[in-house]
Amino acid sequence: MSVAKHIVVVGAGIVGVSAAIWLTRAGAKVTLIDKNAPGQGTSFGNAGVLASCSVVPVTAPGLVLKGPKLLLDPGFPLFMRWSYLPKLAPWLLRYLSHANDNDTRRISKGLTPIVADSVEQHKALSEGGGASRYMVPSDYSFAYADRAAFEADAYTWQLRRVAGFEPDILEGEAVHEYEPAFGPAVGLLAVMRDHGYITDPGGYVAALAETFAEMGGRVVTAEVTDFDLVGGTVQAVLTDQGRFDCDHVVLSAGIWSKPLAAKLGLNVPLESERGYHIVFKEPVSAPKSPTMVAAGKFVATPMEAGLRCAGIVEFGGLDAGPSRAPLKLLRKTVEQTFPDLTYADTEEWLGHRPAPTDSLPLIGEIGQSGVYTAFGHHHIGLTGGPKTGRLVAGLITGDRPNIDLAAYNPNRF
């Protein structure tokens, strides 16, 4: 930038804090605004994995036929608050329309540049600050009952291989030599090397925000209510704590970005995919590295607070409190997977993954408004947050990325 600009970043999760840091490094004056403290929203409760191989959307071929049966299966980690279905239906129909081979491959191709270099992007983001202590290099394993269960996921693994990710396969006794915490329910591991995880995602994002503040950035606790536009171009962000004049805005408030985008004329088909976690405090006989348990669709990650088991999919909107059935099933599957696990106590959490109908994040300018989107990361928020923040910062500062951003254009909706 030839002249330092004032940028307001709305949302202090991993994406917003990343954008704020990269913008500040480029010489911009940046104000980071969130109604909560940094890292205390959806970024707080994820599985903590820097899941570079997470390049395949939920909407794989066959979901349309399998989905209703899975919803009615009390033993499958997919839940619906049926009273919410009428409101969800328009979004759900558009979402399921992508459950075909062509769209799945297109979406996977779009996800790959955002997540594939996650570890390197997190290192570059946190370098020189206190947040780096939360990063741990590790394997990332996928646990299956047996070879047949692994081969049932052949389509997903084929797309991961296209993206350059090839697992090491362990079976039988080799599984338990690698990870003694597993019980007999796990007979095969697909191990991804060169991944990593965060030992406290909320603390990590808060530490990044501290680094941002030390660089001269401003962190404000306020609720954004509107934008002041002149001739269609943003002039200020309006909040319950006053007006913040600016040259550009980064909108990175996760699921809460939808109503703010609507004020700019962008109707984003975005829904909350409700996710849960349980932290098993002071665990004994817990896994030593992050593991995706295929049968339960959850990830078990060793963290500072204990063993966090995070996952489950529930549709039910933003307003309803946590359901008991998803948490009950999660506890049951954890017990089956790690039968020798003991712990002092547990803590439960519900959060909201921002899910666009096409499973691709929104990265780019809304029209010519000067407002840039950086939200809609579905299951890849922590993994893809630093790269997204860097990309959107580059769009504003003129540091053009070396990847095609057309797939993430917010104006596609």
Indicate which CATH number applies to the domain containing 278. 3.30.9.10
32 and 18 inside one domain: yes
pLDDT for 217 equals 98
Other residues' Cβ atoms within 10 Å of the Cβ of residue 339: 13
The answer to the question of residue 116 being in a domain is no
Q: How many domains does the chain have?
A: 2
| Residue 26 domain flag | yes
| Structural domain for 328, as ranges | 63-109+137-195+270-356
What is the C-alpha separation between 148 and 74, in angstroms, rounded? 22
Say whether both 90 and 208 belong to one domain.
no
Rounded to 10 degrees, the C-alpha dihedral 340/343/347/348 comes to: 10
Instruction: Name which of 134, 50, 45, 56 is nearest 294 in CA terms.
Output: 56
Residues 260 and 281 in one domain: no
Whether 218 is covered by a domain: the verdict is yes
> Of the candidates 356, 377, 394, which is a domain's last residue?
356
Q: How confident is the model at residue 2, as a pLDDT?
A: 53
* DSSP line for 15-44: HHHHHHHHHHHTT-EEEEEESS-TT-SGGG
Residues 345 and 366 in one domain: no
Cβ atoms < 10 Å from Cβ of 68: 9
Residue 95 sits in the same domain as residue 186 = yes
Q: Could you tell me the sign of the dihedral formed by the alpha carbons of 20, 24, 28, 29, in that order?
A: positive
Does one domain contain both 152 and 259?
A: no
Domain end, chosen from 356, 374, 400, is at 356
Same domain, 252 and 347: no
Q: Which amino acid, one-letter code, is at 259? A: P
Residues 328 and 399 placed together within one structural domain of the fold? no
Residues 259 and 279 reside in one and the same domain: no
pLDDT in tens, the chain (413 residues): 555 689 999 999 999 999 999 999 999 999 999 999 999 999 999 999 999 999 999 999 999 988 888 888 888 999 999 999 999 999 999 999 999 999 999 999 999 999 999 999 999 999 989 999 999 999 999 999 999 999 999 999 999 999 999 999 999 999 999 999 999 999 999 999 999 999 999 999 999 999 999 999 999 999 999 999 999 999 999 999 999 999 999 999 999 999 999 999 999 999 999 999 999 999 999 999 999 999 999 999 999 999 999 999 999 999 999 999 999 999 999 999 999 999 999 999 999 999 999 999 999 999 999 999 999 999 999 999 999 999 999 999 998 888 999 999 999 99
Residue 55 lies in a domain: no
Strand 291-293 relative to strand 135-144: parallel, antiparallel, unpaired?
parallel
**241: enclosing H helix or E strand:** none
**Checking DSSP bridges between strand 298-303 and strand 291-293, what pairing results, if any?**
antiparallel
- Verify that 21 and 96 share a domain, yes or no: no
Q: What are the C-alpha distances in Å from 97 to residues 65, 70, 88, 354?
A: 12, 18, 14, 18
| Whether residue 275 sits in one domain with residue 170 | yes
Handedness of CA 74, 77, 81, 84 (dihedral sign): negative
CATH of the domain at 28: 3.50.50.60
Residue 227, domain member (yes or no): yes
Instruction: Indicate if 229 and 260 belong to the same structural domain.
Output: yes
**pLDDT given at position 73:** 87
127 lies in some domain: no
CB distance 410 to 373 below 8 Å: yes
243 assigned to some structural domain: yes
- End of a domain among 328, 356, 384? 356
Asked if residues 54 and 242 have their Cβ atoms less than 8 Å apart, the reply is: no
Residue 167 covered by a domain: yes
Does residue 11 come out as left (phi exceeding 0), alpha (psi in the -120 to 50 range) or beta? left
